[in-house]
Amino acid sequence: MKTGLLYGIVASSKTRVRCIFCGVFIPKASKCIEEHASGTKHKENIQQMSENGITCNDKELYCQPCDYYFTEDDSVVSHLDGDDHENWMVALYDLIDGEFINVDAFLACESKEAHCDVCKLNIHCSLLNVEEHVNAMSHRINVCEELKPSNAIFRVEDDTELWCKLCDAYIDNTITSVMKHVDDDEEHVGWFAEIEELIEGHDISIENFLKNEHEKYAFCNKCQMEVICDTQNIQSHVDSESHLNQFS
C-alpha cells in the first residue's frame, strides 16, 4: 500500500487518509489508496511539484521558491493555487523571459541556483538576485552578443553600425538598438513569424542562414536539399509533392 510522504498519503482518521499532494480524502482501504496513487491526477500533481520547486522527504513538504514548509492543513494543489506562489512564479518568468537564464534545476529542487547561459555563471535564485543580474551591464552585453548571430545581425567595417541581413538595414551598434530591432521592428519580427510558421513540422533548418552572412539557403533535412531562404521558395518547397512524400 502506497502511504507516507513519498506518495503524499498520510493518516487522517480511523476510516480515511488524506493525500497532501492532491488535497483530497480517501477511504482507508488498500484498493482505494492504490487507485488514487496510480491515478492520472495524482501523477500530474507530482509532476507539478517537480516543475514548481516543491520537494518532500520523510518529514515534510517544502516549497523552495516561497521558502515555505507545509503545515498539516496544506496540500500541493492549494499551495500552487495560492497567490504567493503564483505571483512568485509569474515574476520569475517575467524576469528571465528572453534572458537565456535556466531555472529547471532550481524548480526541480536539484539546486538553489539558476544558471545564466550567456554569462556562464550561477545565480542564487531569488527574485532580487535574478533582477540584479538581468539588469547588469555585463549581462546586457552578453545577451546582445548572443542575439546577433541568431537574428542575422552582422558587424560591418564601420564599428558604429551593424547590418541586419533579414531587413537589409543598418542599425546602431548599441545594446538598445539591437534589442529594439530584434523585439520591435515590424519587418524583422514579421520575417521570423512567417518563416517559422512555414517550417514548423517540416524539419527545415534556418540556423546556418541566420549565422552566416553570405549563406542564402535553408536546409530541408527530410529531402536533404537546400532551399532559398525566403517565404516564396520555402512555401513552394513545403507544398511540393516530393517533400510531402517524405512524410507519408
Write the pLDDT tens digit of every residue in 186-238. 999 999 999 999 999 999 999 999 999 999 999 999 999 999 999 999 999 99
C-alpha cell at 29: 482501504
Can you tell me the mean pLDDT for 54-60?
77
Determine which of 54-58, 121-125, 157-161, 195-199 has the lowest per-residue pLDDT on average.
Answer: 54-58
Residues in Cβ contact with 187 at an 8 Å cutoff, skipping those fewer than 6 apart? 166, 167, 169
Q: Are 198 and 234 in contact (CB under 8 A)?
A: yes
Query: Quick one: how far is CA 208 from the chain centroid?
Result: 23
Q: Are 107 and 51 in contact (CB under 8 A)?
A: yes
Looking at the chain, the whole-number percentage of residues with pLDDT higher than 70 is 96
Mean pLDDT score of the chain: 90
- On the question of pLDDT at 4 being above 70, the answer is no
Distance, in Å, from the CA atom of 169 to the CA atom of 148, rounded to the nearest integer, reads 14
Distance, in Å, from the CA atom of 234 to the CA atom of 195, rounded to the nearest integer, reads 8
Closest by Cα among 227, 229, 198 to 211: 229
Tell me the chain's radius of gyration from C-alpha atoms.
25
Neighbours of 60 (CB within 10 A): 11
- On the question of pLDDT at 58 being above 80, the answer is no
Q: What is the pLDDT of residues 64-84, one digit of tens each?
A: 999 998 887 788 888 998 999
Burial of 56 (0-12, 13-18, 19+ CB in 10 A): buried
**Reading across the β-sheet that carries 169-172, which strands appear in turn?**
153-155, 161-164, 169-172
pLDDT computed for residue 38 by the predictor: 84
Can you tell me the mean pLDDT for 160-166?
95
pLDDT computed for residue 216 by the predictor: 96
Residue ranges of domains in the chain: 1-77, 82-135, 186-248
pLDDT computed for residue 65 by the predictor: 95
- On the question of pLDDT at 161 being above 70, the answer is yes
Q: What is the pLDDT of residues 180-198, one digit of tens each?
A: 999 999 999 999 999 999 9
- On the question of pLDDT at 87 being above 90, the answer is yes
Distance, in Å, from the CA atom of 246 to the CA atom of 248, rounded to the nearest integer, reads 6
pLDDT computed for residue 215 by the predictor: 96
Burial of 54 (0-12, 13-18, 19+ CB in 10 A): buried
Q: Are 231 and 212 in contact (CB under 8 A)?
A: no
Q: What is the pLDDT of residues 105-129, one digit of tens each?
A: 999 999 999 999 999 999 999 999 9
242 pLDDT tier (thresholds 50, 70, 90)? very high
- On the question of pLDDT at 1 being above 50, the answer is no
Q: Are 112 and 103 in contact (CB under 8 A)?
A: no
pLDDT computed for residue 59 by the predictor: 65
C-alpha cell at 217: 539557403
Residue located via cell numbers 534556418: 206
Q: Are 206 and 226 in contact (CB under 8 A)?
A: no
